């Protein structure tokens, strides 16, 4: 059974704070309900952000990559989003759906080619970057 859990999407920002704590409370009564509700809530939040991104960018293709690409429920939800927007939906082959290390390396390679290399000491990560504030040059 689905149990309502905290749901927070603002623009394209998804916040999972409180979600795990609430899920732990539900798990005390039913681990099955907790797992189902956590998955449905988290994936609905992601699907909402993806839908907003498709609307904002007017892109007509979406590919799910990384470990989550192996999850059939997330693929089903994102496929529905794409259908509503007339977008094609792709899932990376499962043999490539593991660790995202290769995607991170590829992104780093693209960045280094555009910026002609950035010394490691000059690199940084800001987890709170918003989709609409980061310039991507490739």
Domain interval for residue 42: 1-58
**What pLDDT shows up at residue 138?**
55
Nearest to 114 by CA among 83, 95, 138: 138
Total domain count for the chain? Answer: 1
Judge contact between 84 and 92, C-beta under 8 A.
no
Quote the pLDDT of residue 94. Answer: 84
Residue 104 is assigned to a structural domain of this protein: no
Angle of helix 72-84 relative to helix 31-57, nearest 10 degrees?
A: 30
Please provide the average confidence, as pLDDT, over all residues in the chain.
86
Eight-state DSSP code of residue 96:
G
Q: Where are the alpha helices (DSSP H) in the chain?
A: 19-27, 31-57, 72-84, 101-114
Q: What percentage of the chain exceeds 70 in pLDDT?
A: 86
DSSP assignment, residue 110? H
pLDDT, one tens digit per residue, over 116-138 is: 666 767 777 766 666 667 676 65
CATH number at residue 54: 3.30.420.40
* Whole-number Å distance between alpha carbons of 75 and 68: 9
Does residue 99 sit within a domain?
A: no
User: 3-state DSSP call for residue 131?
Assistant: helix
Confirm whether 73 is domain-assigned. Answer: no
pTM: 0.72
pLDDT tens-digit map of 76-96:
999 999 999 999 999 988 887
In a domain, 110, yes or no: no
């Amino acid at each position: 059974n689905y149990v309502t859990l905290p749901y927070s999407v603002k623009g394209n920002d998804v916040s999972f704070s409180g979600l795990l704590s609430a899920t732990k409370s539900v798990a005390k009564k039913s681990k099955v309900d907790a797992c189902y509700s956590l998955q449905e809530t988290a994936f609905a939040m992601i699907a909402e952000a993806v839908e907003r991104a498709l609307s904002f960018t007017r892109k007509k293709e979406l590919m799910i990559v990384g470990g989550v690409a192996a999850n059939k429920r997330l693929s089903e939800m994102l496929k529905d989003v794409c259908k509503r927007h007339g977008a094609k939906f792709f899932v990376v082959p499962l043999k490539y759906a593991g660790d995202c290390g290769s995607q991170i390396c590829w992104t780093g390679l693209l960045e280094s080619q555009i910026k002609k290399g950035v010394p490691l000491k000059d690199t940084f990560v800001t987890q709170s970057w918003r989709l609409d504030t980061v310039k991507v040059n490739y």
